[in-house]
Structures are given as structure tokens and as C-alpha cells.
A and B are shown apart, each in its own frame.
Chain A
Amino acid sequence: MRIFTAVIAIAAGILILGGYFFPALAGVQTLLLNWAIILAGAAALAGIFNLVSVHSEKIRHQEKGSMYSALLLIALVVTFLFAMILRPGHAAMKIILSGIIIPVEAALMGLLTVSLLYAAMRLLRRRADLMSLVFLITAVLLILGSATLPFGNMPVLGSFLRPWIAQILALGGARGILIGVALGTLTTGLRVLFGADRPYGGN
């Protein structure tokens, strides 16, 4: 069975990769990708069942935080029922999305400001080295350079230093990191493509 799944996965991978280079394989590539999208939709349902089973178990065993699990399940069931009865495009569903989900996520984003400030303050205590110092000084210079003042940008910082750091130093560093990530992605993909790593069906 494992060999069978590996053969299917490797063949599908090679056909999809081939589709990018050989026009004759483009049709097969599109077909396989469409199947993958349908399977991803089915996986979303499996993911929701997983979420429900984990939190139901928590409630059943009255584990720590089971109150939140109960709230989550009630919200999930109510939203699901509403969406089934009213359909996802209904105005009430849009209110749930734009009145609850988006503001909550925006609030979490707001919390990040405090978390990041706190993390930056403790950085030197956690790791007092040259790179931490460079990180902090760069962050402070960029924040000061971006500050909006009544008389306009900060002289030198806003007009010269901030663009220079952001466009030359940071951009160069970011491209270097992204090239490294791309090379890592390439070799990881090749390992999966040739069956050395098999996250499907185990190895």
C-alpha cells in the first residue's frame, strides 16, 4: 500500500512539474490541480471534524479551559446552521463575518503591537549580542524615520537614513534570505518528489 501511494504521489508530482515546462502536459497538470483543490475542500471538512472532536473530548473530560472549548463549539454549530439555512451570501452571514470575525482578528493584530514592543524591550536581556544590538538600533531608526511630525519628516533620518536602510540594506538582506528559503524549498520539494520524504502514508 505504501509503495502504491508513493508511486501515485511521485507520478502526480512529476506530471505537475512537467506541465510547467512541456505544453503537452499542461492539460494533465490542470486536471490534477483541480482534483487537488477538490480534495483540499474535503480536507477542510476533515479539519473541522478534528477541531470538533478535540474540543468535545476536552469538554467531556472537563479539562482546563473546557469553557472556551464549549464556547467554540456553540459558535461553530450556530454559524454552521445559519450558513446552511440562510446560505453564505446572506446579509446576516456577512454581519457575522464583518461584525465578529474581522474585528476579533483586527484586535489580535492590535495586541501584536504591544507584544512586539515588549519583545523588543527584552531582546537584549534574552540575547545580548551584536546582532540583537543591530536589530534594535535599526528598528529604532526606522520608527523615528517614519514618525509623522507637525513640521514634516525628521531631517536626515526621514529623508536619507530611513530610505537608505529600507531600500539598500534591508532589501539586500531580505533578498538574501529569500534566495536561501527558495533553495531550501527546491531541495525539500525534490526530496518529496523522489520519495525520500513521504509525508503521505509515512516512511
Chain B
Amino acid sequence: MTGLIIILASAILLFGISLSKRKSPASLREIPALTRLYRTLGLSIEDGTRLHVSLGSGSLLDARGGSALAGLAMLRQIAERTSASDKPSIASAGDPTLGLLTQDTLQAGYQAAGVEELYAPTSGRVTGLSPFGYAAGAANILQNENVSANIIIGHFGPEAALLAEASDRENMVLIGASDELSGQAVLFANTQDALIGEELFAAGAYLGAGASHTASLTVQDILRWLVILALAGGAAAKFIGVI
């Protein structure tokens, strides 16, 4: 029942804060990687190159789906902004269900920008069905399709190093975030500004995805403080012998 209470409380907080954020937009702290991402979006349109969004091989049928959904929310914003570009963005996924949603999200972005006729289903791709197969297929896109920036966001393990290496070889901007610890370590060593932990879920808010995204960040902060208090309280109770 504790789980249900936490979920219900989070849902009420999210709903309430979303409503309040619509009236007064929040000010967000600077995250260098996301500032770079924002700048890269504009630059890629100006210089006629494309962005590649790697969504990883997280399945939507298990707990790894959270990072994949965060990646899709970011892709939706990127698609809307770059859809009218000479070289529209490409997204790749390593899971078939995620691949289908990638295409749907890209199409929604084109629709929102009013250029649905420019949408090509091949801009959302499934490049492999195993993590390494996916990375090898996505690296092929980086090498051959005039990509200027690679945005890695989703579930990635050590295979992220293959994508990072391919990005580096083509001198492209690399922005990366993963929900897996090994993937995070690899991306920390390979990117100029790394996104750590929950920063992965902040991309949508920083790209202007709406009040619900900024409200999510506030709810995460509230829940994080509650976890900190519970941990500190538990440690103190153990220390004085209450539990």
C-alpha cells in the first residue's frame, strides 16, 4: 500500500504543480549539456546538417521504459524544431516497439510544425535488436548521413562507447544520458558535458516541452528531499537504538 500512496501523492503533486506552472513559468538552473543541446539545435538548422537522436535499446515492457519515454519526449521537441530543415533529424532505436513510437513521435513533431508532408517514415529507424547490433547500426548512420550532433538518451550500457567513438571520429557534438550506471560512466568519459542520473529526465523541460515537464522536475525535487529525510531519519533512529 505504501507504493500506492507514493504514486497517488506524486500524481496529485504533479497535477497541482502543472496547473500552477502554467500560470507562472519556472526558472531552471543551468545544465551545461542541455544548454549545449539547445544551441546545437539552432546551429544544425543554420549549417544544413542533421541531428541524430539515439534512443537506445530500452524496452517499453519493463522498467527501462522510463528513460525511453523521456527520450521520446525530447525527440518530439527536436522533431518540431528541425522538421523544416534541409536535413531533418533522424532517430534510431534498438527495440521494435520503441522504433514504432519513434516514428509516431517524429510524425507528431512534423504535424505540430505544420509540415507533415515532409515527414519520411525512414527518419525513425530500428537499427538492431541487440544492444551491440543497435550501436553498430546507429554508428553507420553517424558515418554516412551528414550528422553534426549525436544525442544519446535512453537505456545504454557499455555499447554507448561505440556510438561515442563514432561521434568523435566524425568530429560531431555528443550529448549523452543513460539510466544504466555503466552507460553513464562511459558517457561521462566521452562527452564534454555529461548528464548524470535524473538529469536525463530534465531534457524535455529544458527544451520547452510544457508545464507538465517542469512540474515533473519539482515533484522529483520534493520526492528526493523526502527520500533524504527518510534515509537520515532511519540512520539517526538506528544510531540511537530506536530501530
Would you give the shortest CB distance from B90 to chain A, in whole angstroms?
A: 10
Verify A177–B197 contact, CB threshold 8 A: yes
Residues of B within 8 A of A184 (CB): 66-67, 70, 179, 197-198, 200-201, 216, 220
B240 within 8 A of partner (CB): no
Contact of A181 among B76, B132, B190, B198 (CB under 8 A): B198
In the complex, what distance in Å separates the CA atom of A47 from the CA atom of B164?
24
Residues of B within 8 A of A181 (CB): 66-67, 179, 197-198, 200-201
B44 within 8 A of partner (CB): no
Verify A21–B3 contact, CB threshold 8 A: yes
B28 within 8 A of partner (CB): no
Verify A180–B69 contact, CB threshold 8 A: no
Residues of B within 8 A of A23 (CB): none
B140 within 8 A of partner (CB): yes
Would you give the shortest CB distance from A9 to chain B, in whole angstroms?
A: 11
In the complex, what distance in Å separates the CA atom of A184 from the CA atom of B159?
23
Contact of A178 among B18, B129, B143, B181 (CB under 8 A): B181
Residues of B within 8 A of A203 (CB): 76, 108
Contact of B184 among A40, A177, A194 (CB under 8 A): A177
Could you tell me how many residues of chain A have their Cβ less than 8 Å away from some Cβ of chain B? 66
Would you give the shortest CB distance from B200 to chain A, in whole angstroms?
A: 6
Residues of A within 8 A of B126 (CB): 47-48, 50-51
Residues of B within 8 A of A194 (CB): 11, 14-15
Contact of B96 among A43, A116, A183 (CB under 8 A): A43
Counting chain B CB atoms within 10 Å of each CB, which of A53, A109, A120 scores highest?
A: A109
Contact of B158 among A109, A123, A135 (CB under 8 A): A109
Residues facing B in A98-141 (CB within 8 A) are: 101, 104-105, 108-109, 111-112, 115-116, 118-120, 123, 126-127, 135
Given contacts A108-B162, A181-B197, contact A65 B73 (CB under 8 A): no
8 of the cross-chain contacts (CB-CB < 8 Å) are: A53-B121, A53-B122, A104-B132, A112-B158, A185-B63, A188-B216, A194-B15, A202-B107
B-binding residues in A (CB < 8 A): 17, 20-21, 33, 36-37, 39-40, 43-48, 50-51, 53-54, 57, 63-65, 68, 101, 104-105, 108-109, 111-112, 115-116, 118-120, 123, 126-127, 135, 174, 176-181, 183-194, 196-203
A-binding residues in B (CB < 8 A): 1, 3-4, 6-7, 10-11, 14-15, 18, 59, 61, 63, 65-67, 69-70, 72-73, 76, 95-97, 99-101, 103-105, 107-108, 111-112, 121-122, 124-127, 129-130, 132-133, 135-137, 140, 143-144, 158-159, 161-162, 164-165, 179, 181, 184, 186, 188-190, 192-193, 196-198, 200-201, 204, 209-210, 212-213, 216, 219-220, 223-224, 227
